[in-house]
A and B are shown apart, each in its own frame.
Chain A
Amino acid sequence: MLMISPRMATGVQDKQYTPSLLSFFIYNPKFGPREGEEEKKILFYHPSEVEKNEKIRNVGLCEAIVQFTRTFCPSKPAKSLHTQKNRQFFYEPEEHFWIVMVVRNPMVEKPNREGKPPTVEYQEEEILDTVYGAVLQQCYSMYKLFNGTFGRAMEAGGVELLTQKLEKFFYRYLQTLHLHSCDLLDVFGGISFFPLDKMTYLKIQSFVNRVEESLRLIKYTAFLYNDQLIWSGLEQEDMRILYKYLTTSLFPRHSEPELAGRDSPLRPEVAGNLLHYGRFLTGPTNLKDPDAKFRFPRIFVSAGDGCEELHLIVYKAMSAAVCFMISASVELNREFCEQLDGLVGPQLTLLASDICEQYNINRRISGPDKEPQFKFIYFNHMNLAEKSTIHMRKTASVSLTSVHPDLMKILGDINCDFARVDEDEEIIVKAMTDYWVVGKKSDQRELYVILNQKNANLIEVNEEVKRLCATQFNNIFFLD
């Protein structure tokens, strides 16, 4: 699990270790209140091979920390514990259910003279609590999206069912956590929206209406293009986590074959159907296959006070993807899928090429891309809209940023500063590397800019950011 990336600057043999997951566990202190029964509290523990007493001890420490902080504020217990070697994050998503994630601090290993073990230096201030706290909450949201609440599993099948579900979900999910590449975007957990002209937007809306009209079973629809959201009928919080799943897990898994044959996406098995490029990303891979299974993943979204279980159908044509959600009480069969494929396939193919064309026209109008003097991240708390020119590509496995990690952490620091006071603020800092970083908060919106001009002065930086706001954000930010 160690991520090793030798750092040239720090000497020939120094080894730099990025933060990594040490352990991840879920417990409920009510499940083993008596002495000797502590093991019953533990519902899930990763890595599972840890010895039983060690598990009990670690859970005990978490309980003690939480209890201790309640001495000073009963309603707001501990969220993180910092130690020399690691950080632990605590999250109580449902009453008495605690999820704990232990992340090892990044460290530098310096080789010693022969015989002696290398000296290890932990970098204790590198991990941002807000970032990893958000990652932990995401873990739960993702579990809940596919399994519903812990309480639901308890009602359905008691502790036994819950532990089974936890085991099944987290065993795979934890492998997809890439703690070394988490940053401010994880804090926002935003949604990237596809910029679109009104005409095309209306076309999409009418497409969605038509499909929902003809296939009455469909309860909710979401429309994405190029991994960016255009339309969603779900609640914002549900869409946020579904979006995360689609863009970091489902789409990347299916992007490989597409990239391989972008110009001829008609794979042999669907070659017979020349009418459209549509295909199911969930459910049956090939409708013509007589043995095809018509099982779709189930998801849980909020409905009124409780939640609602749905089939998740993801259907894609070229760069356009549509999610159809249908009540789980309905049995889906070949007939329905063929109907959907026949109805949606051709229309979506057409729509996708329309959008593509429109997109290219817009790009041409805005002129050739030249390297801008700045990079930025924008987030709007009201609609979760997020935009980053810092991240070149964010997938499940890796987030490629075009700036130094330290600058990303400064963005994280500024984000924490904004959280201190609930008022409009602007923060401009000059880093030791002479980069200027600007953060602006106005109403529900936050903008972070990293400027490339090292020799600029405060006033020039201010002018530059003003220009950016005027061109990109219609002067949303009024300060100064």
Chain B
Amino acid sequence: MEEEHQDKEQSETVRCSEPQSHCSLDEPDSLQVANTISLENSSPVKLDCSTEKPCRSSSDTVKDIDSTNGPSEPEPEPEGPEGDGMSTRSSELSEVRTGEENGPSSQPQGTAYEEDQPENVSDSASTDNTLEDSSEFVVTVLARGSLEDQGEGPSSALSEASSPVQAQAPSHRDEDVTAESWRRHRKHVFVLSEAGKPIYSRYGNEEALSSTMGVMMALVSFVQSGDNTIRSIYSDEHTVVFMQQGPLVLVSVSCSRQSEQQLRSELLYVYNQIVSMLTQASINRIFERKKNYDLRRLLAGSEKILDGLLNLVDSDPSFLLSAVHCLPLASSLRDSLSQILQKAITPNLVFSILIAKNQLLTIVQEKTVIEDTRLEPADLHLLLNLIGASSAFQAGEIWTPICLPLFNPDCYFYAYISYLDPPECTVCLLLLSTDKEAFYAVADCKRKIDEGMRTQNALRSIARAQSYSASQVGVSDLRHFMYKPFDVPDNHRQLTQFTSPEMEAPYSSEEERMRLLDLYRYMHSRIHSSSRPLKLIYHVAERETLLAWVTSKFELYTCFSPLVTKASAINAITKLLRWIKKEEDRLFIRNPPKYSTTPNPSKGSRGGKGGSDRQDTTDNGFLSLL
């Protein structure tokens, strides 16, 4: 009972971080990335390149949103001519900036470092290096920032980070939408509002596509007028999938031959990524107020995040499997990393996540918040994409509001993102708090974690950790596999994970990798078909033999050389399952630890329960099926 009560309280805490109307920047600040950087080991310099938009976004954005926030607000102003709001905006910005500077920030970060350093005598040299390196970074970022200041005016950390990329390859946004090359893209994704206004297009400029998107909306509403819902259109080459989510319409035009179900789930990722920046509540509110609102104003600068998401969705099977890929790690190392995270806590901290090479190292979560929910893999994917999509995060510390749509689509968490190993920037720390004002407290946790890592020399161990190759499994004919254990009922709070080796020859080229993934997608769509699911698929083709198998305990996709016989394939799978069983402590996070940051924290931290009796992969009698 007690726990239940706490739980409620906690969820209230979570709720209260919903965007509040008194703070004018609350909603747009999904993009507001307060880039705090310690310069020259001294007091923090805040590079607040937060809320500003690239120039094309209109200035009255902020006002518009403001008015959508609270019931007491005046009616939204009509969309004014662009430009004149810039001043309003910057004044608001500066307000916030001073507000935050006067806040709990007085404690200089550099000092914290200095104070800590003597304790870490053993490691002081490397620390020095780190500090030097980080200040170098600051300089470059500042330089870049100031250049942009002179040039195009302020830009967000996110769009700024993308600019070098843009310089290398011409942006997809400038594509000629009537050209054959535009048509030939494997997968187009469009987002538009119910009024038919373009919000996002993966390729080509939204303006140039506004008539195409208008047709899409017309099709949606025409079918709707007949008390029906449009789902998809099929031609010999393309599958067009329509999805409506609240006031947004998402359309995928794909020649990837994926199933409608899969394309739909990808569109849902896109929608959720938008929600993660704006929250569902505010999207709905904005369009309730103003049907033809141009949402691009709020999403300006974040196209790169959506672009990155779509690239990831195409190339990373995590999305297909709705599971998280962990970096294989000796369980003792993983445990000690978890312990480091467990020790560095502050009130209202709910998740501490350590990521390396875009794979999960460990995750520690607040006990009561998560009592009967868990972090959904999809939410974690969105976070990973956010981090991966912007190299700006490499430049120091980021404090940004972020919504986890599956956890709660209407409220913000506040994410602290910082790399632990600049300048390599492979190990990233992500701390999520429910408290908007907790930046300095959370940043302090990071320093504790830094320190813990240094003491244990953990970074070096992490750097040595590697994914594995199929040949290491030691099963002949096995080229590649994906294995996803299912939660057993008494352990349903476990984060869904999967393991998979690196793709090697003959899947070393980009093209071949995609081909194998496409084969997995096809197997996945058949075995999980909504109307005719299957238990097993054995597919022999000229270039490989594939087997997909779903039981109550796991889901397995394997790829063999084409000449494998059925008997040896079955033999290989038996061996593979045995190998996974043997290695599971290394391949998976077995006992996700927790901590307590509620006002009356229980002493110490408990490890998650259950889990040890999870999958029993080899001797469960399923082999008789084969």
Contacts and interface: CB of A to CB of B under 8 A. Distances in A.
B570 A458 contact: yes
Given A410-B532, A458-B566, A458-B570, A68 B219 contact: yes
A125 B530 contact: yes
Contact of A480 (B222, B522, B533, B565): B565
A429 interface: yes
Given A65-B219, A78-B233, A421 B567 contact: no
A396 to B, nearest CB: 28
Given A65-B233, A83-B228, A430-B535, A413 B238 contact: no
Interface in B210-240: 212, 215-216, 218-219, 222-223, 228-238, 240
A86 B232 CA distance: 11
B625 A83 contact: no
Contacts of B539: 417, 425-428
Interface in B419-458: none
Given A68-B215, A124-B231, A430-B625, A458 B236 contact: no
A61 B222 contact: yes
A425 B522 CA distance: 14
Given A68-B216, A413-B526, A83 B234 contact: no
A82 B522 CA distance: 20
Interface stretch (A12-20, A69-77, A136-144): A69-77
A432 B533 contact: yes
A73 B233 contact: no
A424 B543 CA distance: 10
Chain A interface: which size bin?
35 or more
A82 B233 CA distance: 6
Contacts of B215: 64, 67-68, 71
Contacts of A421: 541
B531 interface: yes
A480 B532 contact: no
Interface string B494-507: 00000000000000
A67 to B, nearest CB: 8
Contacts of B55: none
B542 interface: yes
Given A430-B625, A458-B626, A73 B237 contact: yes
Nearest to A60: B222
A78 B235 contact: yes
A76 B236 contact: yes
Contacts of A406: 532
A94 interface: no
Interface string A266-286: 000000000000000000000
B93 interface: no
B188 interface: yes
Interface residues of B, number: 47
Nearest to B232: A82
A5 interface: no
B231 A86 contact: no
A84 B228 contact: yes
A176 to B, nearest CB: 27
B253 interface: yes
B407 interface: no
Contacts of B212: 68, 71
Interface in A421-475: 421, 423-432, 434, 457-459, 462
B540 interface: yes
Nearest to A455: B624
A129 B236 CA distance: 11
Contacts of A423: 541-542
Interface string B256-270: 010010000000000
Contacts of B112: none
A85 interface: yes
Given A73-B237, A432-B534, 6 more contacts: A64-B215, A77-B235, A85-B228, A427-B537, A428-B537, A430-B534
Interface of A: 61, 64-65, 67-69, 71-73, 76-86, 123-126, 129, 406, 409-410, 413, 417, 420-421, 423-432, 434, 457-459, 462, 479-480
Interface of B: 183, 188, 212, 215-216, 218-219, 222-223, 228-238, 240, 253, 257, 260, 522, 526, 529-542, 565-567, 570, 624-626
17 contacts: A61-B222, A69-B238, A71-B212, A72-B237, A73-B238, A80-B234, A83-B229, A83-B230, A125-B529, A424-B541, A429-B535, A429-B536, A430-B625, A431-B535, A458-B566, A459-B566, A480-B540
